[in-house]
Structure 1
Amino acid sequence: MLLIQKLIAQPRLIALLSGLIFPFAIAPFFLWPIAILSLMGLLFSLHKSSAKEAAIRTWFFGFGKFSVGVSWIYVSMHDHGGTPAILAILMVGLFAAFLATFPALFLFFFQRFYNQKSNKPIISMLAFAALWFAYEWFRSWFMTGFPWLFAGDAQLHTWLNGWAPILSVYGLSFFTALTAAAIYYSLREKQAVYLAFLVVWPIGFLLQNVSWTEVTNELKVSAVQGNIAQEIKWLPEQRSPTINAYLEQTRQHWDSDLVLWPETAVTVLKDQFQAYIDTINQEAINNKTTLITGIPFRYTQGPFKGQFHNSILAIGMGEGLYHKQKLVPFGEYIPLEHIIRGLLPFFDLPMSSFKKGDKHQPLLKAEKDKQLFLIAPFICYEIVYPEFVASMAKESDMLITISNDAWFGDSLGPKQHMAIAQMRALETQRYLLRSTNTGITALVNHKGKIVKQLPTKQRATLTALAQTRQGSTPFMLFGLWPLFIVTILILLFGLHHRNPKVND
């Protein structure tokens, strides 16, 4: 009991511990009640604090959350990037410290304007949910964005996921924060009426039965997992064995309508590989199959001569070339390259000089029985952007995403990445085929559930039937505007009813 009393007397420690447990609410653990408990702990730590102190305590929360949640970055920096262990740990810590400033900023305003002692709990509850959504949205685009570790990601398999096609993962975050606030303030104020907000859960359950899109056809799809070790993947002498391995696996599945290879399955530039592509293209045509692969691309002429892209190429019965738009800082391009390039081996990883693709690129095409299907492609990190995926999915029949999560080994990163991809399928109610080098390779249905998945760290090929679907979910039609409007109304209402006697 004495230990508990001492703990309660340390609000910064409570905030830190609340943040440390947060990542266990999402993949691969999916202990979703922890997300609610974590946010309740944060609210408890803010009780009666000043706005400045609230920002400090929230920073401790964020530091704990991101230190655990993005610890997988260490693997790419140390194991594959050659960064000394101590320095890699320090850089992960600095990254977590930076990310923690975002919730600290938004909860500073929460404490100052909406959570003072004299304000009504109902205002604090709604404002907390609104500002939590605003914080996650801001983090999703500021400085290219990092839309990872959202509170809504914990609700992939709960009743709340029925809201995902309407309000996306951001709406799920809003309701998770609202749930935490409702329970916290009902306990603190001994007012069970606040629990009425939990009605969003059974409504979400009912919404799970709504189909916003409809089936138009079916494709037999295959996703090839080459399992090429990261340490040899980019060696020149490994190029031919890698291509031969992928082609050998593919030849066993030419009866599929679509075959998908992972990100940079081809480790040589397209212009240097064109003769081989022509041969594979003809083989795919002869078997009436579309082959889609990741491949690095270089312009050899014109105004963009010498420019490199991380790309996806469709050949055989399909066609199209897509250049990645959402690049990973320090992985695919180096900010302030002329200053920091060469300082650490991590800043000189293979293929770290890509350029961003154009915003207006046509979707890939695949053909079956003279019917054309539009495929929305996403390379690795792109799948984590909800609005970006929803925009490209509007005219598509299905989604594909390719990745090479071997950079992160058997850490939390690949599992979190897979779950995020499932959320995108749920938001757009499209089937999603995912091909990776070492795993996780899977087919996800329009409800965000995995239909079939390959074991990780094995050379194998997934084959299954995927529905093609048409139609738009409310999120695809209206984006985040409903959440923006609700958030603005809540914040304005809170300011209007704020007690002017409260000392800021």
Structure 2
Amino acid sequence: MQRLLARAPRDIARSLPALRGWRRMAAGMLAGAGLAGAQPPLSWIPLIFLTLPIVLWLMDGTRRAMGAFGLGWSVGVGFFGAGLFWIVEPFMVEPEVFGWLAPVALIGMAGGMALFWGAAFAAAHRFWHRGWSRAILLAAAWSLIEFARGHVLTGFPWALQAYAWIDTPIAQVLALTGPYGLTFLTLCAGLVLGLARPPAIVAAGLLVAAGWGFGAWRLSPPAPVRADPVQVRIVQPNMPQNEKWLPGREQAFFRRHLALSAAPADPMPDVTIWSETAVAFVLDNDPAAQAAAAASVGPDGHLLLGIRRAESRAGGWAWFNALAALGPDGAVGAVYDKVRLVPFGEYIPLKGLTARLGIPALTTLTRGGFTPGPGSRVVSAPGVPPFLPLICYEAIFPEAARARGERPEWLIQVTNDAWFGEISGPYQHLAQARARAIEQGLPLARAANTGISAMVGPRGEIVAELGLGEQGYLDAPLPGTFPKTTYARTGDGPSVLLMVSIFVLTATVFRDGILKSRHR
């Protein structure tokens, strides 16, 4: 039996490269779908080490660059199709209008994102060889294209391989390398196993052990505590998206916010946070409602709420998805306007061209939309420790949480994950927000309409949370901060430079492997 188990990986490694045509594509899609199972909420990390060797063996069988592109694309389709299937949920809010777009969105998203992976595999194939370093070559090309995926056009760095580790000590490596660096190390460990040799297995094990050891060391000291305590309340109203803006329901939901905010506690919160676009009224357009919101947190409390606001500009009104700070008297202490807007959700790219297509559902979308704010910044408001705001999916961009100049004392994310359904999207979104806390060494308060709301410590640990689909509030002290992390100081530059250097070295100097080079 032991001999059989030992031979199995080698037998598979010999048979998979022989696959051709649709069989190769199907195997690639299955491997990609399996890799998606390592992402939250399943977080089946062993799948990384089961699927990535299969990808390497399939790559060994490719003969041309187009074949490698097709393999990478098929792996990507499997991964993004399984990992991003929640993308259909927003279209189900009004299925009679937008439901027909759901399969188009999923197929388009999976196929479009997979093009990046196809390009990575094609680039690696250009320098492919049979030496040991081919695994590192593919890991470097793959990780570099993930960096590109996070920045090209609007960028969409969702479901990076780094986030599979979010509930393990290895996630603490994010404080050193950021998500792209940890993605590279993850791909290295998994692909190296595909070499199916004892030294490769030992190397992969040592890499995982080193990350685990660093994480355990970073998690070992007691959590930092603030010198000046701040009590925070996070309100989760659990408003269904298909009812949120219905006439009559708007006021009921507003009263729900007021009641949850005014609930007695000892001590009473210093800062109360409402989720993204929490209320129907527009900032400064309904002074009575605004004053009622501010009064609900008590005479000594301060309210941060997601809200819409409008500015009169030449040619019409500009609308913003904003986060506002209200003082006890209802006065606006500070406003932050969302910078990174969701394409086709908060604005329509190439609006004029889209309108000319004449598709009724898309034409409806082109008539509205938000305007992006001037830029990310640390917000200071009376009575509130300086914070860096992240509205909704701004939290998936690691660079959005890096403050310029003054360092904030915490991160605040307000979001409406009701758009993401209840299966995987909210869990993946929370994991990425936790990653931002680790990277910056800062606590993060997360207010989500339908969940998951949480107070997150500076090592990504969940201090308190309200589960998905729950109505209520959570009170928690604002945790302390860690000193500025390596990643907070350097950003992605060192990791990208390392990946470029390794790609060049494995494509040239180590192309035939060190051992073979020594015998020449």
Question: Which residue matches 2:148?
Answer: 138
> Match for 1:288 among 300, 308, 317?
300
Question: Which residue matches 1:12?
Answer: 25
Question: Which residue matches 2:90?
Answer: 76
The question of 1:376 aligning with 2:392 is answered: no
What is the deviation of 1:499? 6.0
> Match for 1:65 among 73, 79, 82?
79
The question of 1:400 aligning with 2:412 is answered: yes
What is the deviation of 1:51? 2.0
> Match for 1:33 among 31, 40, 46?
46
The question of 1:203 aligning with 2:210 is answered: yes
CA deviation vs aligned residue, 1:424-475 (integer Å, no higher than 9, x gap) = 1121122111111111111111221222221322321111122132531100
Native 8 Å contact 1:428 1:446 kept in 2: yes
Native 8 Å contact 1:440 1:455 kept in 2: yes
Structure 1 residues 466 and 81: alpha-carbon distance in aligned structure 2, compared to 1, 3 A threshold: farther
What is the deviation of 1:100? 0.6
What is the deviation of 1:58? 0.9
What is the deviation of 1:87? 4.4
Native 8 Å contact 2:310 2:318 kept in 1: yes
Question: Which residue matches 1:390?
Answer: 402
> Match for 1:56 among 44, 65, 70?
70
Structure 1 residues 253 and 290: alpha-carbon distance in aligned structure 2, compared to 1, 3 A threshold: farther
> Match for 1:21 among 20, 34, 52?
34
What is the deviation of 1:195? 3.2
Q: How far apart in 1 are the matches of 2:79 and 2:156?
A: 14
Q: How far apart in 2 are the matches of 1:179 and 1:366?
A: 48
Native 8 Å contact 1:331 1:352 kept in 2: no
Q: How far apart in 2 are the matches of 1:393 and 1:25?
A: 36
Structure 1 residues 363 and 216: alpha-carbon distance in aligned structure 2, compared to 1, 3 A threshold: same
Structure 1 residues 84 and 276: alpha-carbon distance in aligned structure 2, compared to 1, 3 A threshold: closer
Q: How far apart in 2 are the matches of 1:172 and 1:158?
A: 13
What is the deviation of 1:194? 6.3
Q: How far apart in 1 are the matches of 2:457 and 2:317?
A: 39
Native 8 Å contact 2:378 2:387 kept in 1: no
Q: How far apart in 1 are the matches of 2:101 and 2:376?
A: 40
Question: Which residue matches 2:452?
Answer: 440
> Match for 2:107 among 93, 100, 122?
93
Question: Which residue matches 2:263?
Answer: 252
Q: How far apart in 1 are the matches of 2:372 and 2:509?
A: 46
Q: How far apart in 2 are the matches of 1:96 and 1:249?
A: 40
Provide the secondary structure at the position in 1 that maps to 2:432.
Answer: helix
Aligned residue runs from structure 1 range 433-472, under 5 A = 433-469=445-481, 471-472=483-484
Question: Which residue matches 1:224?
Answer: 235
Deviation larger for 442-451 or 275-284: 275-284
Q: How far apart in 2 are the matches of 1:469 and 1:484?
A: 27
> Match for 2:278 among 265, 287, 297?
265
- Name the Cα RMSD after superposition: 2.8
Q: How far apart in 1 are the matches of 2:51 and 2:486?
A: 30
Question: Which residue matches 1:192?
Answer: 199
Residue correspondences, number: 486
Q: How far apart in 1 are the matches of 2:434 and 2:364?
A: 32
Structure 1 residues 245 and 193: alpha-carbon distance in aligned structure 2, compared to 1, 3 A threshold: closer
Structure 1 residues 499 and 474: alpha-carbon distance in aligned structure 2, compared to 1, 3 A threshold: closer
Provide the secondary structure at the position in 1 that maps to 2:280.
Answer: coil
The question of 1:167 aligning with 2:177 is answered: yes
What is the deviation of 1:360? 5.2
Question: Which residue matches 1:356?
Answer: 372
Percent identity of the aligned residues? 26
Q: How far apart in 2 are the matches of 1:245 and 1:265?
A: 11
Native 8 Å contact 2:378 2:389 kept in 1: no
Q: How far apart in 1 are the matches of 2:441 and 2:404?
A: 13
Native 8 Å contact 1:261 1:292 kept in 2: yes
Q: How far apart in 2 are the matches of 1:159 and 1:467?
A: 19
Unaligned runs of 5+ residues in structure 1 are none
**What code does the residue aligned with 1:330 have?**
F
Deviation larger for 199-208 or 467-476: 199-208
The question of 1:179 aligning with 2:179 is answered: no
The question of 1:121 aligning with 2:132 is answered: yes
Deviation larger for 487-496 or 415-424: 487-496
Question: Which residue matches 1:332?
Answer: 346
**What code does the residue aligned with 1:294 have?**
G
CA deviation vs aligned residue, 1:4-41 (integer Å, no higher than 9, x gap) = 89876332222111011122101111101212322222
What is the deviation of 1:216? 3.5
Question: Which residue matches 2:500?
Answer: 488
The question of 1:345 aligning with 2:356 is answered: no
What is the deviation of 1:133? 1.6
**What code does the residue aligned with 1:131 have?**
A
Provide the secondary structure at the position in 1 that maps to 2:478.
Answer: strand
Q: Which runs of 4+ in 1 moved over 4 A?
A: 3-8, 83-87, 211-215, 302-305, 349-352
What is the deviation of 1:393? 9.8
Q: How far apart in 1 are the matches of 2:496 and 2:51?
A: 25
Deviation larger for 219-228 or 304-313: 304-313
What is the deviation of 1:304? 9.2
Structure 1 residues 416 and 348: alpha-carbon distance in aligned structure 2, compared to 1, 3 A threshold: farther
> Match for 2:443 among 431, 456, 467?
431
> Match for 1:319 among 329, 333, 340?
333
Native 8 Å contact 2:324 2:333 kept in 1: yes
**What code does the residue aligned with 2:193 have?**
I
What is the deviation of 1:163? 1.0
Provide the secondary structure at the position in 2 that maps to 1:232.
Answer: coil
Q: How far apart in 1 are the matches of 2:412 and 2:192?
A: 38
Structure 1 residues 365 and 133: alpha-carbon distance in aligned structure 2, compared to 1, 3 A threshold: farther
What is the deviation of 1:128? 2.0
Structure 1 residues 360 and 84: alpha-carbon distance in aligned structure 2, compared to 1, 3 A threshold: closer
Deviation larger for 191-200 or 321-330: 191-200
Provide the secondary structure at the position in 2 that maps to 1:25.
Answer: coil
